[in-house]
Structure 1
């Protein structure tokens, strides 16, 4: 794992990576990381994949090189609306945890096609994890059926394929 160089007199800035979702479990995982792992100067990266894109309309002409991709303005407006709504929901859920402690954060939204599979979402998150070079990847367990660990499909895929330090935060016993 690459180390981060620290120059004298400058604060050490680590990255923490939260697989963000608009769920109580995801917020609890972030809260756990802030309480048990966060150090002043760390940057919290929250990444979420929004499934909202539709297939682009393509027009083909009989001329070589005469194919054009068109994005309908109505579709583009709808995608922008869905991205803005996702940003607002995530900020509503996470900012009350981050702002009181003045935690620097970055919210990363990735737009994918509506028919994208869970494995593709996990792959996008893994790519983003590698780009951010976090000291810790924070995942939330949802106690979903179908996996031995009680993780959701995306968290299970990341847990098995991520080569960075990970923390899997389980929901409270009260059934969250």
Structure 2
């Protein structure tokens, strides 16, 4: 067994013994990237047991801020209407279809109760904003464990683009399992 999988198994056993008399609440953050779907697959095969509740969090980066042009003279700014609502509706529809096809249908087939938490953020939202949303959901559902997929970014990529997994690993108060 690879070392990384051993780590995840040990973490899962610790979480399972946390409150054996109470149903567990498990939060899984999913995205359309393969790493997030691997985290879902890992959680369903290694972590779940009968009676657990699964909460799925998905953040769509669609909403764009209103465009404003300044002419240099105070009071002469012009605001353009936001072109995003049409795209936003389409992206929300696509996200709902993705969640149905790749998340809720397989979970329902396995008999795993699931609850979807869908959010829309601005395209320019930093990783910290998405991380804060996940922390808020984890607090609201009283998550016993949070499962996140993570990818293999270089240090420079993490510094330049940010990383939700990095943010959550530094700020999450709930037990956190990162799956590669």
The answer to whether the superposition gives a TM-score over 0.5 is yes
Task: Find the counterpart in structure 1 of residue 164 from structure 2.
Answer: 154
Task: Find the counterpart in structure 2 of residue 135 from structure 1.
Answer: 144
Per-residue CA deviations over 1:122-141 (Å, capped at 9, x if unaligned) read: 11111111111111100112
Task: Find the counterpart in structure 2 of residue 81 from structure 1.
Answer: 90
1:40 aligns with 2:50: yes
- After TM superposition, the score normalised by the length of structure 1 is 0.71
For 2:155 and 2:42, the matched residues in 1 are separated by 25
For 2:65 and 2:163, the matched residues in 1 are separated by 25
What number of residue pairs does the alignment pair up? 148
1:91 aligns with 2:107: no
Q: Secondary structure at the match of 2:36?
A: helix
Large movers: runs of 4+ above 4 Å: none
- After TM superposition, the score normalised by the length of structure 2 is 0.70
Q: Of Structure 1 and Structure 2, which has the larger fraction of its residues in helix?
A: 2
CA displacement at 1:101 relative to structure 2: 1.0
Task: Find the counterpart in structure 2 of residue 61 from structure 1.
Answer: none
Unaligned segments of structure 2, at least 5 residues: 1-17, 69-80
Q: Over aligned residue pairs, what C-alpha RMSD do you find?
A: 2.9
Does the 8 A contact of 1:22 with 1:93 survive in 2? no
